[in-house]
Amino acid sequence: MLTKGRPRIEDPRDYRVQVRFNENQRARLEAYCEKMHLKKAQVLMMGFEELERQYLKQEKVDTEDEFRVSSSEDTDTLRGQEFNEDKYSNIFIELSKLDPSETLQLALNAETDEIRGFYETISNYFMQRRQAKVIAGNMY
């Protein structure tokens, strides 16, 4: 027998949580959701996951050193090597395939402020390109 309604999902969200915001917080949340094409629940869940990740990270050994800029000795070994433009073109192509919610997730999961800023810059760049296409095509 066929069942009516929405199909069951693997991890159903059966619990509701209410949050009270002031007017400023509400407006900022709605503006962010509109800009990033996300639902309020998605943004709040990603924020919770980021806070939880930060907490769990505090429990472990600090790994920030892994992301620091290489020493001058390391950069000296790069001098004289042939510049590979295809490598960077491929990186650009892969980054351009990212969905706005994916770049948001990358920014939220970034280990350092510098990496977070990089992903936010990437997100803003591709968002501006999408907006320019919409404007050029009179699709608004």
What are the tens digits of pLDDT across the range 13-48? 888 989 999 999 999 999 999 988 889 998 998 888
pLDDT at residue 73 above 70?
A: no
Q: Which residues contact 57 (CB under 8 A, 6 or more apart)?
A: 63
Q: Where are the domains of the chain?
A: 23-59+87-136
- 29 vs 20: CA distance, rounded Å: 12
Arithmetic mean of pLDDT over the chain: 78
The region, left, alpha or beta by phi > 0 then psi within -120 to 50, assigned to residue 80 is left
pTM, two decimals, is 0.40
- 140 vs 132: CA distance, rounded Å: 11
Q: What per-residue confidence (pLDDT) applies to 1?
A: 58
Q: What per-residue confidence (pLDDT) applies to 140?
A: 61
